[in-house]
């Protein structure tokens, strides 16, 4: 099977970082935030895009009315 060497390298880096921080995501996050603050790069935070509310029309109501019911998943006993 063919593997991508770039993806393999990224997986190795991610694994090394996880081990370095004992698989603690909070510690890794704090480390990355400290790196971000030390960086000389400008940090930009974009506003959250809000989607306009879609108004339900008669056509969408009829589609929903005749849609097949979704199966209900239950835990195995």
**Domain presence at residue 71:** no
**Domain presence at residue 13:** yes
Q: Which residues contact 68 (CB under 8 A, 6 or more apart)?
A: none
**Domain presence at residue 14:** yes
**Domain presence at residue 56:** no
**Domain presence at residue 23:** yes
Host domain of residue 1: 1-38
**Domain presence at residue 70:** no
Cα-based angle 48, 51, 57 (whole degrees, multiple of 5): 170
pLDDT digits (tens, 9 = 90+) for 1-44: 889 999 999 999 999 999 999 999 999 999 999 999 999 888 88
**Domain presence at residue 9:** yes
What's the N-to-C CA distance of the chain in angstroms? 38
pLDDT given for residue 38 in this prediction: 94
**Domain presence at residue 74:** no
Q: What is the largest CA-CA distance in the chain?
A: 57
pTM score > 0.75 for this model?
Answer: no
User: Domain tally for the chain?
Assistant: 1
């Amino acid at each position: 099977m063919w593997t991508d060497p770039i993806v393999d390298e990224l997986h190795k880096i991610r694994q090394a970082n996880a081990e370095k921080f004992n698989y603690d995501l909070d510690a890794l996050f704090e480390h990355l935030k400290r790196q971000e603050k030390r960086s000389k790069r400008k940090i930009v935070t974009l506003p959250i895009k809000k989607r306009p509310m879609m108004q339900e029309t008669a056509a969408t109501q009829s589609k929903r009315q005749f849609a097949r019911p979704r199966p209900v998943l239950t835990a195995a006993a």
